[in-house]
Amino acid sequence: MKTIYRNLALGILLAVFAAFSVAPVSAQTATQDEKTKLYNTYIENYDKSLDKQKIALAAAKQYVEKYGANAEDKEQVDYFKGAIPSLEEGINKVERETKEKAATGVIYETFNTANKNKNVPELFTTGKQILGKQPEFLDINLVLASAGFDQAVLPTPVDTYNNDTINYAKKAIQLIESGKPSETEQYGAGSYIYKNDKFTDTKSNALGWMNYTIGYITYYRQGKDNAAKKKEALPYFYKATQHNSFNKTNPLVYQTIGAWYLDEAIKIDTDRKAKITAAGDKDTDETLAMLAEQKGYADRAIDAYARAYKFAKDDPKQKKEYTDNLYSRLKELYTFRYEGKTEGIDQFVATVQNKPMPDPTAAITPVKEETPATTTTTSTTNNVTTPATTPATTPATTAPTKPATTNTAKPAATTTPTKPISATTTTPATDATAKTKAKTTTPKKKTNR
């Protein structure tokens, strides 16, 4: 480009020299020297640094201002008039980007500091600003989803961030499944990373936690008085068990799914009793079909509670009270389902992991007995107590690994995890009731990333 400009200038300068051939030599030479200087200043600076471009712009404007009215300079003036707007636009763009980059650096620094200090309000404020410009930034989505989850599981839960947390967790899942890499290479940053020695498949670990995050908040926080929300949470709990993370063996995941099945069974039981009463205390084809469906839900609940009990029993860190209460609930379900019998329950628990867990979104298979129930005037449980739905004590588990953070332009990767820190929370009991309840306590939850 410079060569073209120089050749063009040479032609123009030759024309200038010819035009001034009748003028005094000294004045002609001075004017031409000034034009040449302005032109050379432009050529030497127009494609350099921002400051150099500003020098080139000033030279071009000066040339147009001084010689714009000269017919002999028309070609060169027209060139500069065409070049000036593009040069100005380029300079303005660079200046804007420089300012934005400086501002972004401040935002990242503030974000990292908030992450390190666990300043959640500041973390969400700056994180939203970053995602406003970089919505595909996986690590920021993971950090915000994790921070929001930790707020939702506090002993006194903070629900301020629940909706945002779910959205960030869903976005993180979508990004991971689409192959988006972690820029920190640890899937997260600072206080919230998913790379650790126990779960070496970091992607799977992050996916397990993100699904669990959505399931937990939807079920326990948004679904406290909303049955539809509880049902909405089940697929996420199920998906959490399909990834290699802590939640694959987290008893609370299976206990929660089992409690939902039990709730549904109790609803059917209540409706069935009303229909039996209306039919003169007699079973009908409809009530027998309801019983078959109820037992189908009981089968699903037994499967889920058996897994919860097995994982709790195999974990030496679990409290005996929690494990015992899970077994009591399982025994009640088993007794109802098999007409008062308990034979085979321990064998069922021992082998339950040998088969896939039923997907909660799959239709329930009714259980039709060869000899249907006869006329009854009591609950459809055939004199077996329907289990209560209040959850057993939630398992005591290890808290998330919390490595230190580093303040950099983007969340920095960290390498040395600190020792786990315990954190507990309270999980709400379900509202359904039955004739008797197994001994339960207010559940508490601990996590381990």
What is residue 95's predicted lDDT score, i.e. its pLDDT?
74
Confidence of residue 54 (pLDDT cuts 50, 70, 90): confident
Among residues 295, 332, 324, the alpha carbon closest in space to that of 308 is found at: 324
Which residues is 188 bridged to in the sheet? 193
| Between 305 and 1, the higher pLDDT residue | 305
Question: CA torsion 390→392→397→400, rounded to 10°?
Answer: 0
**Do 290 and 275 form a contact (C-beta atoms < 8 A)?**
yes
DSSP per position, 6-29: HHHHHHHHHHHHHHTTTS-HHHHH
What is residue 19's predicted lDDT score, i.e. its pLDDT?
41
Look at residue 167 and tell me whether its pLDDT is greater than 90: yes
Among residues 259, 300, 237, the alpha carbon closest in space to that of 390 is found at: 259
Quick one: CA dihedral 169, 171, 172, 177, positive or negative?
positive
| Between 156 and 392, the higher pLDDT residue | 156
Confidence of residue 29 (pLDDT cuts 50, 70, 90): confident
Whole-angstrom distance, CA of residue 328 vs CA of residue 167: 37
Look at residue 3 and tell me whether its pLDDT is greater than 60: no
Q: Is 71 exposed, middle or buried (0-12, 13-18, 19+ CB in 10 A)?
A: exposed
What is residue 414's predicted lDDT score, i.e. its pLDDT?
32
**Do 434 and 385 form a contact (C-beta atoms < 8 A)?**
yes
CA–chain centroid gap for 420, Å, is 22
Look at residue 360 and tell me whether its pLDDT is greater than 90: yes
Tokens of 336: 């109802």
What is residue 12's predicted lDDT score, i.e. its pLDDT?
39
Task: Average the pLDDT over each of 66-70, 132-136, 203-207, 288-292 and give the range with the smallest value.
Answer: 66-70
Among residues 91, 88, 7, the alpha carbon closest in space to that of 49 is found at: 91
Question: CA torsion 226→232→236→241, rounded to 10°?
Answer: 80
Confidence of residue 349 (pLDDT cuts 50, 70, 90): very high
CA–chain centroid gap for 362, Å, is 25
What is residue 91's predicted lDDT score, i.e. its pLDDT?
87
What is residue 251's predicted lDDT score, i.e. its pLDDT?
97
Span 21-27, mean pLDDT? Answer: 50
Span 382-409, mean pLDDT? Answer: 41
Average pLDDT, the chain: 80
Span 275-289, mean pLDDT? Answer: 96
Task: Average the pLDDT over each of 53-67, 266-280, 401-415 and give the range with the smallest value.
Answer: 401-415
How confident is the model over 73-110, as pLDDT tens digits?
Answer: 899 999 999 999 999 899 888 877 776 776 667 889 99
How confident is the model over 292-323, as pLDDT tens digits?
Answer: 999 999 999 999 999 999 999 999 999 999 99
**Do 209 and 146 form a contact (C-beta atoms < 8 A)?**
yes
Look at residue 373 and tell me whether its pLDDT is greater than 70: no
Span 173-197, mean pLDDT? Answer: 96
How confident is the model over 219-259, as pLDDT tens digits?
Answer: 999 998 999 999 999 999 999 999 999 999 999 999 999 99
Contacts of 235 (CB under 8 A, 6+ apart): 215, 359, 360, 361
What is residue 370's predicted lDDT score, i.e. its pLDDT?
55
Span 150-178, mean pLDDT? Answer: 98
Whole-angstrom distance, CA of residue 45 vs CA of residue 293: 82
Whole-angstrom distance, CA of residue 74 vs CA of residue 78: 6
Residue position matching structure tokens 């990834």: 243
Look at residue 403 and tell me whether its pLDDT is greater than 80: no
Whole-angstrom distance, CA of residue 75 vs CA of residue 295: 92
Report which listed range, 141-155, 340-354, 367-381, is most confident: 141-155
Look at residue 58 and tell me whether its pLDDT is greater than 50: yes
**Do 46 and 56 form a contact (C-beta atoms < 8 A)?**
yes
What is residue 46's predicted lDDT score, i.e. its pLDDT?
86
Q: Is 252 exposed, middle or buried (0-12, 13-18, 19+ CB in 10 A)?
A: buried
Confidence of residue 395 (pLDDT cuts 50, 70, 90): low
